[in-house]
Amino acid sequence: MNPDQIVVGIDIGTTKICTAVGRMNEHGKLDILGIGYAASEGVAKGMVSNIEKTGLNIIAGVKAAEEASGVDISLINVGISCPKIRVAPISGNIIRNNSQGTISVEDVERLRTDQSLTVLPSGNKIIHMLPQEYRVDGDEPVSDPVGMSGVKLEAAFHVIMAHNMAISHTERSLTRAGLEIKSMIFGPLAAAMAVLTEEEKEGGVVLVDIGAGKVDLAVFHQGIVRHTAVIPLAGNVITSDIKTGLGLLDAQAEYLKVNFGGALPEDAEPNGVVEIEGIRGRAAKQVSEEALVNIVHCRMAEILAYVHNEIIFSGYEQQLNMGIVLTGGGAQLRNVKYLCEYITGIDTRIGYPNEHLGSTKGEDLTSPANAVAIGLVLAGFRNFDAREDRYDVMRKSPKPKTNSNGKPAAVAAEKPKTSLLGGFFSSIVDKTRNLLLDDDDLKQNY
């Protein structure tokens, strides 16, 4: 790891753009050097709809991050998530040329490359190919085949793809801002890096990122991503319900949701009233706290019911020993953890992106709303799949020389030592031969 390496992550959300700049310290923890925010005016449900507006917003967010960190930003990791994300299972196999040697990282990569050429739904591009399991010569499935011996290598993949238009709009917005993309990463995988522990991913956990425009979901089991989904309902729908139900403006509805909303009906004070300041000389407006909380509760319960249905559909509901982790801006709603447990029957906690942070912790920095941005920075230093970290180490290690048949080449053995007597006779033979070769008459007949 280069101690001077600096990584930048940009989360292009529906209501805000978050740019985080970080560096790994000597203790293996992430120091955030600076973070910048900007409004997001050209994005709908996580997808860039207005390239020009989004590009200008990205410029503003990057400038704020540059001022906070003192770093010139040009190369970035960016998150992508929108309703145009699709997933599909793909499986295939290869026959190895070198049947005598063990399975290598190159064999695994060849299998993945071959399967990436599989015909996909028209207009889509692969973002991630996540291996689920491998089989060697038809034996029991394993999570990592490297180092095993066999001829036929099979694998099943969970493929995450995005529509070309969604990818193109994101790329063009960043190009408009003068930025180059190093990696494009599915949002919930980045968030998982920031808020989940390895023990949670091993034991079985669901990462639920509740944003403004959509909910992202990723199921982990035995350390592997097993299922992902995007649900096009989230915080903005709650704001819209408040606006319609109470006759308010967007800004007023958002203010009430953030400051007085609650996920449970009992969060409202009996007969409580919230006063909204009047606009342009108009009288202040009073809003029933019970009415507000009931609107928020009903819509959030519906969103979490969709989450529960997706968990059931994944087939891993009974294997989630570590429960659900809620993150994103919607995870800050009062008592949403308890509503989630009531709807799903699964133990739940709020995920804060401080799991891997160093000395730069702060209340704003470790907000669940920043999980994706911080995870994108972490993605510059490690993989969300531990197998890939192992493969990276193996790629950098010197490889033993092999013969044409693939077997390790024998190292030249040290010249065997001889006994004193054997050495004496060998010396006599060598001297006699040299004397004969020096005689011109004998040289011709030798």
* Residue with the two structure tokens 């004193």: 420
Cα–Cα dist 126/122, whole Å: 12
Kind plus residue range of the DSSP H or E element containing 158: strand 152-163
Give the pLDDT of residue 225.
96
Percentage above 70 pLDDT, the chain: 87
**3-class secondary-structure state, position 345:** coil
Contact 325, 195 (CB under 8 A): yes
DSSP code string of 365-377: TT-GGGHHHHHHH
Q: What is the pLDDT of residue 360?
A: 67
pLDDT of residue 426: 47
The predicted pLDDT at position 216 comes to 96
Q: Is residue 183 within 8 Å of residue 381, measured between CB atoms? A: no
Q: According to the model, what pLDDT value does residue 15 have?
A: 92
- Which are the contacts of 229, defined by CB distance < 8 A and separation ≥ 6? 87, 216, 217, 310
For residue 217, give the nearest of 306, 89, 296 by alpha carbon: 306
**pLDDT beneath 50: ranges in the chain:** 1, 410-429, 431-446
**Which run of H or of E encompasses 441?**
helix 440-443
* Helix residue ranges, H only, 315-419: 336-344, 371-378, 386-396
**Distances 352 to 34, 211, 349, 367, 430 between C-alpha atoms, Å:** 18, 14, 9, 6, 80
Q: What is the pLDDT of residues 292-311, one digit of tens each?
A: 999 999 999 999 999 999 99
Find the Cα–Cα–Cα–Cα dihedral 91, 145, 153, 85, rounded to 10°.
20
